[in-house]
Amino acid sequence: MSEIQSFLFEGTSVPCTGRETIAAALDRAGIRVLGTGQGDCAGRYFCGIGACQACLVEVDGVRMEACLTPARGGLQVKAISLVSP
Amino acid sequence: MSGPEVLVIGGGPAGVSAALELARAGIDVTLCEQGPQLGGAIHRQPNDATQSVRVPRSHKRRWRALSDELATSTVKVLYRHMFAGIDATGAVLLEDRMHARLVTRRPTALVLAMGAIERVAPVPGWQLPGVVTVGGLQVMMKSTGRAPDGDVLIAGSGPLLVALAAQMVSLGKAPVAVLERSTRPMSVSVIASLLAAPAYLWEAAGYLLTLARSGALPRRGAFVTAIVPKDGRLSVTTLDRNGRERQTLVDRVALHDGLLPNSNGTTAGQHAPFIVRAGDCREVLGGAAALADGRLAAGAVLAHLGQIASVHKGAADALARERQAQAALNTLFDYSGRDPAELPDETIICRCEGRTLGQLRALLTAGDPVSPREIKLNGRFGMGACQGRFCAEWVASFVASQRDGSSPPQVSEIVGSRWPVKPVPISAFVTLPPSSPSE
């Protein structure tokens, strides 16, 4: 078992292990809503393979899919708020 | 190396198989994978080797053979490199996620092996957190080696439903229910076709036996009609084949209605390199076919480069066998989803921007006939971050159902095809000069 570390999601400490993705770590922490999203479509995990873009979060200031991004101790992860058209 | 460079996009079985075949022929080949690990969705490896999900032995053997050969091959692997498209000059754009920058390459040939995406038929509430694709839940389970928390309802159609359910049972948690929309029976001719690729029969029998033992066999002819949030959970309304309605309170709903090739935005202009698609990205035939198709794609590249490729009779035969088996399998399922006429106006169609069926209906009934491009540009259907991957097919079929006579729009006409294939942060273009190949 790899060492437990933690990253911050919206200021909350989320534990993560070795090769886990940010999406998996958030899910294990019971965090299912990943942002306010747009038009009643909150940020959330859906396809798991980087296709649906529903789990986009900001990782150290850059937007990327939580389901493709390895979790690492010390990361600053934030929900993104999309701009309405 | 000074010879031609070939880029392979996608580190699943098709991409790895193509890359290995090219490397065997002495080609300078680079394999680009969007995530931190190879294997694709089908061969997703556990984060912790001591905690793993039940996987058919044939799958394990297949991946072990590929990864063992890859380890000793000359294939260069770039992890966390996202294919962003091909620009007007023919340059292949990759987003290097490790360094948050864009990398451009000018390969002689490009193999696209980006797998499939799941189809999910729209149903009210399918956009809610906690509603996932069956494959999405399976990928998470394969990685964590644990059953998902909470109560899970699985619905839709396809062999993946029973695979996920059986894998959950093996991890100690049966789903609350498995609803298989199809009522189509197994026929003698289907069994005969599947005997050509008996691995599917064994796999299915294993899963069904597991489900029968735990009382979680699929309820055939049943489907989800609505999902609403309730007390922090999800209240799911279902209809069974006798028309009986039922409410079930769960924590997650996993939906799946078949697979589609993941090839949005990959049409290339006149300056593009020679392009071959391989695996589910070309035709959804599954993992065994992907292996053969990767070799065939590599053969096509070698032929383009003027090398005499070894005869791929075996691969072509394997592909034909898998095509026959998949066609037989598909007759058992019902991927149609609900008739949109039965869906309420508030049903969300575009999951990125929350555009509803009511808004689509209004767009189509307003005065002038709407062109396919206007559906996107004015209606914003297929406009969001997923670029129509999860809605365009349903939008197209709904528009077709509303127009008698006139030709129905094609998905490609609504969505268009241009890079980037996926959203790329502007900062990736400007922070570092987008030229140097990353190490």
Tens-digit pLDDT profile for residues B113-142: 999 999 999 999 999 999 999 999 999 999
Buried b (16+ CB within 10 A) or exposed e, B198-232: ebbeebbebbeebbeebebebbbbbbbbbbeeeee
A-B C-beta contacts closer than 8 Å: 135
What pLDDT shows up at residue B439? 40
Q: What is the ipTM of this complex?
A: 0.94
Contact B199, B56 (CB under 8 A): yes
- The answer to the question of residue A26 being in a domain is yes
Radius of gyration of chain A (CA): 12
- The answer to the question of residue B108 being in a domain is yes
Higher pLDDT, B328 or B264: B328
- Confidence label for B264 from pLDDT (cuts 50, 70 and 90): confident
**Number of domains composing chain B:** 3
DSSP string covering B201-226, please?
HHHHHHHHHHHHHTT---EET-EEEE
In this structure, are B132 and B239 located in the same domain?
yes
SS3 content of chain B, % helix, strand, coil (to 5): 35, 20, 45
pLDDT at A1 over 80: no
| Residues in chain A within 8 Å Cβ distance of B348 | 39-41
Instruction: Report the CATH number that the domain containing residue A21 is assigned in CATH.
Output: 3.10.20.740
Residues of A with CB under 8 A from a CB of B: 1-2, 17-21, 23-24, 27-28, 30, 32-34, 37-54, 56, 62-64, 67-70, 82, 85
Q: Note down the domain range covering B155.
A: 120-257
In this structure, are B147 and B249 located in the same domain?
yes
**Number of domains composing chain A:** 1
Whether A48 sits inside 8 A of B136 (CB atoms) is yes
In the chain, the amino acid numbered A84 is S
- The answer to the question of residue A65 being in a domain is yes
Q: Is any Cβ of chain A less than 8 angstroms from the Cβ of B409?
A: no
- The answer to the question of residue A19 being in a domain is yes
State the best of B140, B142, B424 to mutate against chain A, taking most chain A CBs within 10 Å.
B140
Contact B408, B365 (CB under 8 A): no
In the chain, the amino acid numbered B44 is R
Nearest alpha carbon to residue B253 among B140, B159, B137, B335: B137
Across the range B35-64, mean pLDDT stands at: 90
- The answer to the question of residue A51 being in a domain is yes
Average pLDDT score over chain B: 91
pLDDT at B296 over 50: yes
- The answer to the question of residue A84 being in a domain is no
- The answer to the question of residue B437 being in a domain is no
- The answer to the question of residue B217 being in a domain is yes
- The distance from CA B279 to its chain's CA centroid, rounded to whole angstroms, is 11
Integer angstrom CA distances of residue B264 from B107, B281, B338, B415: 21, 10, 24, 8
- Spatial separation of the C-alpha atoms in residues B365 and B368, rounded to whole Å: 8
In this structure, are B278 and B349 located in the same domain?
no
Contact A48, B343 (CB under 8 A): no
Please state which of the ranges A68-82, B275-289, B352-366, B418-432 shows the lowest mean pLDDT.
B418-432
In this structure, are B53 and B166 located in the same domain?
no
| Helix, strand or coil, per DSSP, at residue B326 | helix
The structure tokens 């159609």 sit at B157
State the best of A22, A52, A64 to mutate against chain B, taking most chain B CBs within 10 Å.
A52
Structure tokens at B26: 């002495």
Instruction: Report the CATH number that the domain containing residue B28 is assigned in CATH.
Output: 3.50.50.60
Q: Note down the domain range covering A58.
A: 4-79
Instruction: Report the CATH number that the domain containing residue B360 is assigned in CATH.
Output: 1.10.10
What's the start-to-end Cα distance of chain A, in Å?
Answer: 46
- Spatial separation of the C-alpha atoms in residues B138 and A45, rounded to whole Å: 12
Within 10 Å of residue B331's Cβ, how many Cβ atoms?
Answer: 15
Whether A20 sits inside 8 A of B144 (CB atoms) is yes
Across the range B370-380, mean pLDDT stands at: 90
- The answer to the question of residue B315 being in a domain is no
- The answer to the question of residue B359 being in a domain is yes
Phi, psi of B12 (to 5 degrees): -85, -170
- The answer to the question of residue B204 being in a domain is yes
- The answer to the question of residue A85 being in a domain is no
In this structure, are B213 and B234 located in the same domain?
yes
Could you report the per-residue pLDDT of B55-81, keeping only the tens digit for each? 888 899 999 999 999 999 999 999 999
Nearest residue in chain B measured CA to CA from A20: B47
| Residues in chain B within 8 Å Cβ distance of A34 | 129
In this structure, are B165 and B232 located in the same domain?
yes
In this structure, are B131 and B253 located in the same domain?
yes
Could you report the per-residue pLDDT of B178-214, keeping only the tens digit for each? 999 999 988 888 888 888 788 888 899 999 999 999 9
What pLDDT shows up at residue B244? 97
- The answer to the question of residue A29 being in a domain is yes
For the ranges A47-61, B38-52, B417-431, the maximum mean pLDDT occurs at: A47-61
In this structure, are B214 and B128 located in the same domain?
yes
In this structure, are B229 and B266 located in the same domain?
no
In this structure, are B159 and B248 located in the same domain?
yes
In this structure, are B29 and B107 located in the same domain?
yes
Number of H helices, E strands in chain A: 1, 7
Of B257, B272, B287, the position where a domain reaches its end is: B257
- Spatial separation of the C-alpha atoms in residues A46 and A31, rounded to whole Å: 13
Whether B135 sits inside 8 A of A63 (CB atoms) is no
Closest-CA distance, B3 to chain A, in angstroms, reads: 33
- The answer to the question of residue B426 being in a domain is no
What pLDDT shows up at residue B438? 47
Contact A54, A45 (CB under 8 A): yes
CA angle B279, B285, B290 (to 5 degrees): 35
Contact B158, B258 (CB under 8 A): yes
Buried b (16+ CB within 10 A) or exposed e, B248-261: bebbbbbbbbbbbb
Closest-CA distance, B117 to chain A, in angstroms, reads: 7
- The answer to the question of residue B321 being in a domain is no
pTM score, two decimals? 0.94
DSSP string covering B120-155, please?
----TTTTSTTEEEHHHHHHHHHHH-SPPSS-EEEE
